[in-house]
Amino acid sequence: MSTTISGSNGIVFPDATSMQTGQQQACKAWVNFNGQGTVAIRRAFNVSSITDNGTGDYTVNLTTAMPDVNGTVTGATTETVGSFLGGLRCVMPSFSSTSSIRLGVVYTNGGTVDTQYIGIAVFR
């Protein structure tokens, strides 16, 4: 079921079911998690768990699988204050399967690193 707000353009917001199964081009999953020490999810939508595969290497497991791997995944991380060690950090996520996203956190020089704040979003 959708909610409509009356107005000159009539804005329609999809409900959670439509966002997961419809063609709504909405964010289908997202997570904000701690990637240092014991990995812990802070907040998430459509994410069941995260697997720590090693330094700077994570698998994000989805609660509801995507219909295929033709979506887009974007990610970001922040530098922990006082720990800048020689380069910017970036998150490189991609679909492992329809039910998981594999991501790496690396310095610009290519070395992997665990960071305190990591976030990804999945669009399809």
- Count Cα atoms within 13 angstroms, Cβ side, for 39: 19
pLDDT score at 31: 97
Euclidean distance between CA atoms 36 and 78, whole angstroms? 12
Tens-place pLDDT, residues 43-98:
999 999 999 999 999 999 999 999 999 989 999 887 655 555 555 677 888 999 99
Please give the pLDDT value at position 24: 56
DSSP reduced 3-state for 87: coil
Q: What is the pLDDT of residue 29?
A: 95
Q: Give the rounded percent of residues in the chain with a pLDDT score beyond 90.
A: 48
pLDDT in the model for residue 78: 77
More confident residue, 7 or 60: 60
As a whole number, the mean pLDDT across the chain is 82
Task: Determine the average pLDDT of the residues in 100-118.
Answer: 87
Higher pLDDT among residues 57 and 17, named by residue: 57
